[in-house]
Amino acid sequence: MTLTITAVRASRPGELSRIGLDVAEAVGALAAHTSSHRAAVHGLRATWHGPASDAATGVAESMAERMAVVHAALTRLQAALHTGSAALTAERTAIVHAVDRLDGQGWSVAPDGSVSVQPGSALARFAAASPVDAIRVRVLATNHTARLTELLAWFDESDRRLDRNLRDAVSDVPTDRLRTASGDPPDSAEHGPAVPIDGDPVEVRDWWNALTPAERIRVVAEQPDQIGGLDGVPVSARSDANVRVMNRDVDRVERRAAVTGGTVDQLRANAERFGLTPAAVTRYDNALRVRAALAANAAKTGGVPGFLYVYEPEAFGGEGRVAVAIGNPDEADNTTVVVPGAGNGVNTGWLTGDDAVNVYEETFAADPSRKLSVVAWMGYDAPDSLLDPQIAQPAQARHGGNLLANDVNALDVTNSADSHVTVVGHSYGSTTVADACAGYDMRADDVVLIGSPGTDLARTADDFGLPPGGQVFVGAASTDPVTYVGGDTRGTGVGVALGADPAQADFGATRIKAEVAGLSTPWDDHSGYLALGGESLYGIAEIASGHADLLDDRGLIAGERHTVGIPGMPDLDFDPELFRPATGGHAH
């Protein structure tokens, strides 16, 4: 079967590294067991003599030889998994980044890697400008296609090499003990229910509902790595599975440090010396951050249950991909997803911050009669900072939008309460939210964009594809410089930064008040939209609680930005909010 871009994107070679860590643990345990077994055989020979002794020691020695063979095979297996995972991860990253970069530049990439111009893009208009420009674009497309074809070939070869190495690693392991007394392979029931890892969320949900309570408990306990990331499984079960994996990531490092007599800091500095890999340390550090976030959320909300919805600690080069929920989304009447912007990641500690907690507290206060869940979604590779060159490129927003749409739409499959879903995106996260709606059909009822640098694929509010009654809301402080970099892309197709400014009147969104009271810097204003007492959070709580109809009554609707034409002078952008005094102390 021909390898495709889609297949590469869906692959998770980083999981091979985690499996390699488990194999390494098995190698250590088997080595200790083999040593004990040989000592027991030696003692048996010294104290027991005769035909029966000879027979017993013969069986014991044969078993010791088998154990030695298996130990050697597991050692080879771990090495193959570690090397293969590193190669496939690097090649997958190169392919995904190349495709996302081309997509952001106006190219269309087919599943087989062939590259062409996106119809209607700025690149298409450039090619249509002259025959020479058209030739240049065709040459570029050919070069890009050749490069992607080469990258796909490398990935395919690494995959085949890993397959060969894995088979070779275990080729001399005796398999007769893997059969029952009848000579048949063990019944699949011995290993619990088969998990439909390739099923769509609806199929997975139906599979889960057909399991008995005992089977559900067993499959979570025995196959947590598969259940934790399986769309269609209830959030509570996914969380149980992910917490098991998280705790294992912590225990693996701390046990190894205790057994070797070293400290965790020493292990961090030289993991290989202690028999672990750098990936194990990455997983450990991010597991501690996620564990701290769960504990912090519970403490700040007075014990509201937390759920670990997504847990991929090695994603994005170790920055991690995680989603933590305050309250169960499957039981919620109102679900709000909070998406942060640049400079945030699991490894930066955003999950332990106050953004999601503040949204939960204020939204719950707005309507305590309805069950609420707020999901802190650190599920994409955000630009590293406002100085990161990628901050002005849409590639990471589009890739993140795809991931966000998948995670939010999966909640729709398992929710039993017909939840009202609001997705809040801040800064670059607002671009990601816009792309999730406009490019990947995210199913949300309302969307709130705060501190937005532009909406990329969404040129107007209509492009979000919200259901009847759904609205796009915008919070843009007049003193927030980031909200002024969005440009109109509808004329020439070439805009500033990340697309249209959603606070402009012709975008079609509803602007809510979001000025920041008191003395502050412009960058503080950009990061203050979810601060307690502010206009922005107060308005977001009305929207997220399902009461957006009260915004006007509460005086929370802001004037929209618009262009003012002055004869003989360039058009000027006018923001009426710049002349309105900010207010504070807002709370339900």
Q: Tens digit of pLDDT for each residue in 495-514? A: 446 899 999 999 999 999 99
Task: For residue 446, give Cα distances in angstroms to 394, 449, 512, 515.
Answer: 22, 10, 13, 21
Write the pLDDT tens digit of every residue in 262-287.
899 998 998 888 888 899 999 999 99
* Mean pLDDT on 419-431: 97
Asked if residue 157 and residue 67 are part of one domain, the reply reads: yes
Q: Where are the alpha helices (DSSP H) in 213-310?
A: 213-222, 224-227, 235-260, 264-269, 278-300
Q: Decide if 186 is inside a domain.
A: no
Asked if residue 527 and residue 462 are part of one domain, the reply reads: yes
Binned at pLDDT 50, 70 and 90, residue 494 comes out as very low
Q: Collapsing DSSP states into helix, strand and coil, what is residue 109?
A: strand
Range of the domain at 210: 199-299
268 or 543, higher pLDDT: 543
Q: Decide if 548 is inside a domain.
A: yes
**Integer Cα distance of 503 and 483 in angstroms:** 8
Q: Are 407 and 310 in contact (CB under 8 A)?
A: yes
Asked if residue 221 and residue 345 are part of one domain, the reply reads: no
Give the pLDDT confidence score for residue 53 in this predicted structure: 56
**Integer Cα distance of 216 and 123 in angstroms:** 52
Cβ neighbour number for residue 238 with a 10 Å cutoff: 27
Least reliable range by pLDDT among 352-356, 390-394, 452-456: 390-394
Residue 498 φ then ψ, to 5°: -110, 25
Asked if residue 461 and residue 344 are part of one domain, the reply reads: yes
Q: Decide if 87 is inside a domain.
A: yes
From 584, 398, 580, select the one nearest 499 (Cα to Cα).
398
DSSP code, position 331: G
Residue 275 φ then ψ, to 5°: 80, 20
For residue 533, list its beta bridge partners.
586
For the chain, give the percent of residues with pLDDT over 70.
85
Cβ contacts of 275 within 8 Å, gap of 6 or more: 24, 28, 256, 260
Instruction: Give the residue carrying structure tokens 């209509």.
Output: 462
Asked if residue 362 and residue 232 are part of one domain, the reply reads: no
Asked if residue 32 and residue 120 are part of one domain, the reply reads: yes
**Integer Cα distance of 454 and 428 in angstroms:** 8
Q: Are 249 and 321 in contact (CB under 8 A)?
A: no
Q: Collapsing DSSP states into helix, strand and coil, what is residue 107?
A: strand
Binned at pLDDT 50, 70 and 90, residue 130 comes out as confident
Binned at pLDDT 50, 70 and 90, residue 188 comes out as very low
Asked if residue 348 and residue 230 are part of one domain, the reply reads: no
Q: Are 115 and 144 in contact (CB under 8 A)?
A: yes
CATH of the domain at 70: 1.20.1260
Into how many domains does the chain fold?
3
Least reliable range by pLDDT among 57-66, 157-166, 496-505: 57-66
Q: Is the pLDDT of residue 295 over 90?
A: yes
Q: Collapsing DSSP states into helix, strand and coil, what is residue 513?
A: coil
**Integer Cα distance of 42 and 44 in angstroms:** 5
Q: Decide if 60 is inside a domain.
A: yes
Write the pLDDT tens digit of every residue in 3-42.
888 888 888 887 777 776 776 666 566 556 656 655 665 6
Give the pLDDT confidence score for residue 389 in this predicted structure: 78
Sign for the pseudo-dihedral over CA of 299, 301, 303, 305: negative
138 or 540, higher pLDDT: 540
For the chain, give the number of residues: 588
Q: Are 556 and 539 in contact (CB under 8 A)?
A: yes
Give the pLDDT confidence score for residue 135 in this predicted structure: 82
Q: Are 430 and 478 in contact (CB under 8 A)?
A: no
Q: Is the pLDDT of residue 297 over 90?
A: yes
From 439, 377, 452, 456, select the one nearest 402 (Cα to Cα).
439
Give the pLDDT confidence score for residue 565 in this predicted structure: 67
Asked if residue 343 and residue 295 are part of one domain, the reply reads: no
CATH of the domain at 522: 3.40.50.1820
For residue 564, list its beta bridge partners.
572
H or E segment to which residue 475 belongs? strand 472-475
Least reliable range by pLDDT among 125-134, 306-315, 430-439: 125-134
Q: Decide if 307 is inside a domain.
A: no
Asked if residue 339 and residue 408 are part of one domain, the reply reads: yes
Mean pLDDT taken over the chain: 85
Write the pLDDT tens digit of every residue in 358-405.
999 999 999 999 999 999 999 999 998 877 777 888 989 999 999 999
Asked if residue 236 and residue 97 are part of one domain, the reply reads: no
Round to the nearest angstrom and report the end-to-end CA distance of the chain: 59
Binned at pLDDT 50, 70 and 90, residue 302 comes out as very high
At 509, list the tokens: 């969104």
One-letter amino acid of 500: A
H or E segment to which residue 45 belongs? helix 14-47
Asked if residue 203 and residue 135 are part of one domain, the reply reads: no
Cβ contacts of 306 within 8 Å, gap of 6 or more: 294, 297, 298, 324, 325, 326
Give the pLDDT confidence score for residue 183 in this predicted structure: 39
522 or 468, higher pLDDT: 468
Q: Decide if 306 is inside a domain.
A: no
* Mean pLDDT on 449-465: 95
2 or 55, higher pLDDT: 2
Cβ contacts of 474 within 8 Å, gap of 6 or more: 448, 449, 450, 452, 502, 503, 507, 509, 510, 511, 512
Instruction: Give the residue carrying structure tokens 């949204």.
Output: 359
Give the pLDDT confidence score for residue 36 in this predicted structure: 62
Q: Decide if 272 is inside a domain.
A: yes
Asked if residue 71 and residue 30 are part of one domain, the reply reads: yes
Q: Decide if 177 is inside a domain.
A: no
* Mean pLDDT on 153-173: 80
